[in-house]
Structure 1
Amino acid sequence: MTCQPYESPDAVETNTGGAAAASRRTASDESRLSLAMKELKSAGWYWGNLSANEAKEILRDAAEGTFLVRDSSQSNYLFTISAVTSAGPTNLRIEYDQGKFKLDSVLLVRPRLKQFDSVVHLVDHYFRMSLVSHKTPPSTPSSSTVPLLLTRPAYAAITPLQHLCRVTINRHTRRVRDLPLPNRLKDYVADYAYHV
């Protein structure tokens, strides 16, 4: 037989407050994930429920740096980046923790990895880094590492010309509001302010 400890009304309120805070976090996570998913779907290089083998087949003849994002086949991750490296196709899981996305990595590197509000923001960051590193002469990597480049998105379908135009505009300026465009077009370009 077990005995339940007596809880004062203050303790009950604290526990209820804890449940309310957890509920707010869950609602916040749902909202954040919903926005991230909407943004990801508009990117054009999100393939949804695709297996690692299917991704490998899609990327089989693609150039180094070609990538796509798909749902992760592992239940404790939401998404995976499949990319072509100099050693062939590889997969990188994307973690979601406390409202932020980051690449999965070994424990020693994990604290140094940047965190992002969305998957598109994460991919955009590594895309821009890849473009810079792709232009500079390669350093001599260690035999155990393969440089990751994300330079060419593999689109899941024919991408609308309007979307490709706003990506191009965003690659060339951050001052979208100063462009001689109608406000409706400025809003459309600013709605997806990424380079990829």
Structure 2
Amino acid sequence: MTCQSSEPPDTIQQHERRADSDPRAGDSDENRIASAMKDLKNTGWYWGSLTAHEAKEILHDSPEGTFLVRDSSQRDYLFTISAMTSAGPTNLRIEFKDGKFKLDSVVLIKPKLRQFDSVVLLVEHYVQLSRNSSKASVSGAGAKAEGGAANPPAASASSTTPSGTVQLLLTKPVYTAAPALQHLCRVSINRSTRNVQDLPLPNRLKDYLTDYAYNV
């Protein structure tokens, strides 16, 4: 399955409902980025100003699909996903334009890639693709390291197929520290339902759940 492929209808409807009800939809770019940062800091797998080399060291010997999000070291990009592929660590840059986030890619593929209101929603989308298929293939996305050269040696030789696609599998985030049990429970609940307000829980707990409405 390729990243530009459609999600299952029920998943698409979930994302659309969330986008339609998102009060941030009309915000300025500055507010959108601030909201994205807030969500990222709640994930536990956002590593801030980590370098590409440091990310590679963290991902070393990790199973395929292990990933983290960090600040991009390139001026034109805000964030980067560092992920372990079958060929080694790969860096996938995240582009922010017109209030939306999407993976960086070659010019011909860019119009086909989905855009998202937040970085966490983008990651959640590709994690969901990974759960629903054996591989989520990103055509040309992130096929360059942040310096503009080829991927690091461990990935440059074989991380791309003859058609020029990078095989992307996002399954297991790398946390900066052991996440709180409350947060793990929140993520688990979000995987089971989007109707938090219907749960027989105190309002305080509902507020905690809705403060991070993602399942990864």
Query: How would you bin the TM-score normalised by the shorter chain?
Result: 0.7 to 0.9
What is the total number of aligned residue pairs between the two structures?
166
Deviation, 1:195, is 1.2
Indicate if the aligned counterparts of 1:71 and 1:79 stay in contact, CA closer than 8 A.
Answer: yes
C-alpha distance in 2 between matches for 1:158 and 1:152 = 14
C-alpha distance in 1 between matches for 2:85 and 2:161 = 15
Aligned to 2:168: 148
Q: How does 1:107-118 map to 2 (within 5 A)?
A: 107-118=107-118
Aligned to 2:194: 174
Secondary structure of residue in 1 paired with 2:28? helix
Root mean square deviation of aligned Cα = 1.7
Aligned to 1:39: 39
Secondary structure of residue in 2 paired with 1:76? coil
Indicate if the aligned counterparts of 2:135 and 2:168 stay in contact, CA closer than 8 A.
Answer: no
Q: TM-score with structure 2 length normalisation?
A: 0.73
| Structure showing greater Rg | 1
Indicate if the aligned counterparts of 2:135 and 2:167 stay in contact, CA closer than 8 A.
Answer: no
Q: TM-score with structure 1 length normalisation?
A: 0.80
Indicate if the aligned counterparts of 1:93 and 1:103 stay in contact, CA closer than 8 A.
Answer: yes
- Residue ranges of structure 1 left out of the alignment (5+ in a row): 1-26
Q: 1:193 and 2:210 equivalent? A: no
C-alpha distance in 2 between matches for 1:135 and 1:99 = 28
C-alpha distance in 2 between matches for 1:88 and 1:172 = 32
Q: Residues 86-127 of structure 1: CA distance to partner in whole angstroms, max 9, x if unpaired?
A: 111100000000111000000010001101111011101111
C-alpha distance in 2 between matches for 1:96 and 1:64 = 26
Aligned to 2:66: 66
C-alpha distance in 2 between matches for 1:179 and 1:91 = 39
Q: Residues 113-167 of structure 1: CA distance to partner in whole angstroms, max 9, x if unpaired?
A: 101111011101111111111399xxxx954434201100000112111111100
Aligned to 1:75: 75
Aligned to 2:141: none
Name the structure with the higher helix share.
1
Indicate if the aligned counterparts of 2:94 and 2:104 stay in contact, CA closer than 8 A.
Answer: yes
Q: Which amino acid is 2:46 matched to?
A: Y
Percentage of identical aligned residues:
69
Q: Runs of 4+ in structure 1 displaced over 4 angstroms?
A: none
